[in-house]
Structure 1
Amino acid sequence: MNGSPFVAIRRELHKIPELGFREFKTQQFLLNYLSTLSAERFELKTWKTGIFVKVKGTNPTKMLGYRADIDGLPITEETGYAFQSEHEGRMHACGHDIHMSIALGILTHFVHHPIQDDLLFIFQPAEEGPGGAKPMLESDIMKEWKPDAVFALHIAPEYPVGTIATKEGLLFANTSELYIDLKGKGGHAAYPHMTNDMVVAACSLVSQLQTIVARNVDPLDSAVITIGKITGGTVQNIIAERARVEGTIRTLSPESMARVKERIEAIVKGVEVGYQCETSIDYGCMYHQVYNEKTLTGEFMTFVQEQTDVTCIECSKAMTGEDFGYMLKEIPGFMFWLGVDSPHGLHHSKLAPNEQAIDVAISLMTKYFAMKGND
């Protein structure tokens, strides 16, 4: 077992995963830990279930920001951990318990070893939905404490511990949820001619949606429309009056996202006419792309390459989504992948990150901030 205090903190946080804007126990745990640090060295403000912590510099000329997301996912855990989730049907299956522990480790270091510039630690709720970054960015607190640059990491199960992966420019895609409801006319299974069957309509709709990427997106561009859930009907011998299609959209540019949605809406209108039904579309939670600022990212990659205990690689862009993109839209900065060497991937019920990555990240980022905050 790793003896790091921040590994122990991660295990306590792992027990109490909570969904977006309901992270009440998580927020209190973080506040309890922060109360053990020297209060004169930092200022603290809460926002909904999130927290801003400003660590004071000795002679600040700028403020550097670091963001950690704090929510969990609606997944039933199957890791077999002794410290498994105590909240039924909830799990830190995206590594936010790791993210928080790393942020606390970096913060603690600079409370005891201040640098010239101010540091702002942002413990952000609701990354998994409905999205906490954008409203947090627009809050009065962040208008007062707006950093000059902002950084974040995300665990990467596929990379070994000690690997840092990132790239200049586009890292993560633009994403949007997709919910389409259809309402027709139900009835007896023996009299289909007297009904408007929404199971049939939904099946036709799904098939048509799959033509968008194949026929409406530039082959040199990339987009994904995935339908992950279809519900409809009540019993086998009643024709369904209602159906619901749920999915996600991913694109590599905001312009492609707009074009894909325009085409979805046209197809849904066609289904409405062709199947004589009522429809509605809800795009749910939408995230702006994660776009790493070129100069800062290049400098960071050079810095990592100079370290002897980590390896830096240039990764490819991914169709994953992250609401940290909203912060990068307004503030220069970057996000990077942190290798955690798990046999199971993100959002999996058996995700088991190697906890040695916690101290790797704390060590790397304290060195980086010390360099960046004293220049």
Structure 2
Amino acid sequence: MSNVLSLAEGIKEWLIEVRRDFHMYPEFGMEEHRTSEMIAKYLDEMEIEYKKGIANTGVVGIIRGKDKGKTVALRADMDALPIEEKNQVSYKSKIEGKMHACGHDAHMAIVLGAAKLLNNMKDNLKGNIKLFFQPAEETVGGAKPMIEEGVMDNPKVDAVFGLHVAPEIPAGKIGIKYGKMNASSDSIKIIINGESTHGAYPHSGVDAIVIAGHVITALQTIVSRNIDPRNSVVVTLGVINGGTRGNIIADKVEMIGTVRTLDPQTRKKVLSRIKETVQKVSESLGGSGEIIVEEGYVSLINNDDMVDIVRTNALELLGRDNIKVLQEASLGVEDFAYFLQKSPGAFFRLGCGNVEKGIVHDGHHCLFDVDEDCLSIGVAIQVQNVLSILNK
């Protein structure tokens, strides 16, 4: 297995070059046109079969082994963020107001590097490898439409692996999480309807602002009194608008928020209780309430057997001291979760931090960067993950 790490180290300079090119030309979700063209260019150079235009700008490559067997998928997200980069580096973003501030440039380089090594082994592979280059993870979510266009079929994907760079973990280490790893998200819009009147005569109207205050307070009891305290839930209202003047009783208040949960059953229960609370509290105070729910990403739940594969491979490649078993799930979202709904798989954190190099900033920060030593490590682990499935 150490040979796999040696092979990955052997293409390190190429990986850095690929990553830096992506970094200099970031593109927003569903606008990754240059990015997908560059991915196609690299796959052409490797003589790897692929299809473009999946879910708009996505690319799917396939490496077909010599013998029939299982199919393993590796995923990399492609999109950047609306952030002005402040790093003073030679590969700084050349596009004003856009930056790869979450490491997707590294993710693409790692999957391309894994493809490069696995393609050289294809005559000895018992099965296939699919390469998912996915648009719009940061915005509308490209995983679901890719799945709807059939990327998990023909041939059917038997296992799927993904990773995300993690500046809070030093380069050379990884973080793994069994079971629930990332939350689901739903956007909610609450509309409270009252009846307008003069502020001097509140008894002749229905104050939507007062109702909204009661609704806000009642919603917080859902987390504290309706949900098992060992199961994390977040209900946040970030926007509230209502009223026109200080001496007029408001007839309408609108609130916008987000709901984060870690499992489907809790998600369903929380949304149901929010709906009941909004309607019944509003009615009890003489008004009416409605809620509009816009479903976001589902929760990411790893398959424990697949996490064991990642752990075993990292143990042999990096050593026990370089594996961190994460105990807490993140209330952030990740649309790799949709791939895990269709196939067993695992998502893990790849350390990319380096205090001595000043690489300490979290994702979505204008000074975010990665220690590029992590690239070859990510390649080696993903290659070995594939081989562990295909060579069983």
Q: TM-score range by the shorter chain?
A: 0.7 to 0.9
1:111 corresponding residue in structure 2:
119
- Inter-CA distance 209–144: structure 2 relative to 1 (3 Å threshold): same
1:305 counterpart (284, 308, 315): 315
Please tell me whether the aligned partners of residues 283 and 289 of structure 2 are also in contact (alpha carbons under 8 angstroms): no
How many angstroms apart in 2 are the aligned matches of 1:339 and 1:45?
Answer: 30
- Inter-CA distance 13–189: structure 2 relative to 1 (3 Å threshold): farther
Q: SS of the counterpart of 1:159?
A: strand
How many angstroms apart in 1 are the aligned matches of 2:16 and 2:249?
Answer: 54
Write the deviation string for residues 221-279 of structure 1: whole angstroms up to 9, x where unpaired: 22122334445567889887765433322222211111111111122214543676665
Question: What percentage of residue pairs aligned between the two structures are identical?
Answer: 35
Counterparts in 2 of 1:1-375, with a 5 A limit?
A: 4-38=13-47, 41-47=48-54, 48-114=56-122, 115-116=124-125, 117-182=127-192, 202-231=212-241, 243-270=253-280, 272-273=282-283, 279-308=289-318, 311-318=322-329, 319-341=331-353, 342-375=359-392
Please tell me whether the aligned partners of residues 237 and 255 of structure 2 are also in contact (alpha carbons under 8 angstroms): yes
Task: Report the CA distance between 1:190 and its aligned residue.
Answer: 8.4
> Which of the pair has more CA radius of gyration?
2
Task: Report the CA distance between 1:316 and its aligned residue.
Answer: 1.5
Q: SS of the counterpart of 1:4?
A: helix
Comparing 236-245 with 261-270, which one deviates more in the overlay?
A: 236-245
Comparing 256-265 with 317-326, which one deviates more in the overlay?
A: 317-326
Aligned residues: 372
- Inter-CA distance 281–320: structure 2 relative to 1 (3 Å threshold): same
How many angstroms apart in 2 are the aligned matches of 1:225 and 1:296?
Answer: 31
Task: Report the CA distance between 1:67 and its aligned residue.
Answer: 1.0
Write the deviation string for residues 299-326 of structure 1: whole angstroms up to 9, x where unpaired: 3212211224782221124123212112
How many angstroms apart in 1 are the aligned matches of 2:246 and 2:136?
Answer: 38
How many angstroms apart in 1 are the aligned matches of 2:241 and 2:34?
Answer: 33
Q: SS of the counterpart of 1:287?
A: coil
How many angstroms apart in 2 are the aligned matches of 1:152 and 1:21?
Answer: 20
RMSD: 3.2
AA paired with 1:46? G
Task: Report the CA distance between 1:293 and its aligned residue.
Answer: 1.7
- Inter-CA distance 247–37: structure 2 relative to 1 (3 Å threshold): same
- Inter-CA distance 135–101: structure 2 relative to 1 (3 Å threshold): same
- Inter-CA distance 53–269: structure 2 relative to 1 (3 Å threshold): same
How many angstroms apart in 2 are the aligned matches of 1:295 and 1:72?
Answer: 32
Write the deviation string for residues 140-162 of structure 1: whole angstroms up to 9, x where unpaired: 34332321111101122211111
Comparing 70-79 with 234-243, which one deviates more in the overlay?
A: 234-243
- Inter-CA distance 284–10: structure 2 relative to 1 (3 Å threshold): farther
How many angstroms apart in 2 are the aligned matches of 1:283 and 1:261?
Answer: 8
How many angstroms apart in 2 are the aligned matches of 1:287 and 1:42?
Answer: 30
How many angstroms apart in 2 are the aligned matches of 1:248 and 1:88?
Answer: 30
How many angstroms apart in 2 are the aligned matches of 1:135 and 1:355?
Answer: 31
Q: SS of the counterpart of 1:307?
A: helix
How many angstroms apart in 1 are the aligned matches of 2:133 and 2:336?
Answer: 12
Task: Report the CA distance between 1:189 and its aligned residue.
Answer: 8.1
Q: 5+ unaligned residues in a row in structure 1: which ranges?
A: none
Write the deviation string for residues 31-81 of structure 1: whole angstroms up to 9, x where unpaired: 23323332xx43434312111100121223111111111123344444455
Task: Report the CA distance between 1:292 and its aligned residue.
Answer: 1.8
- Inter-CA distance 51–221: structure 2 relative to 1 (3 Å threshold): same
Please tell me whether the aligned partners of residues 129 and 285 of structure 1 are also in contact (alpha carbons under 8 angstroms): no
Please tell me whether the aligned partners of residues 309 and 388 of structure 2 are also in contact (alpha carbons under 8 angstroms): no
Please tell me whether the aligned partners of residues 12 and 376 of structure 2 are also in contact (alpha carbons under 8 angstroms): no
Please tell me whether the aligned partners of residues 290 and 324 of structure 1 are also in contact (alpha carbons under 8 angstroms): yes
How many angstroms apart in 2 are the aligned matches of 1:164 and 1:157?
Answer: 11
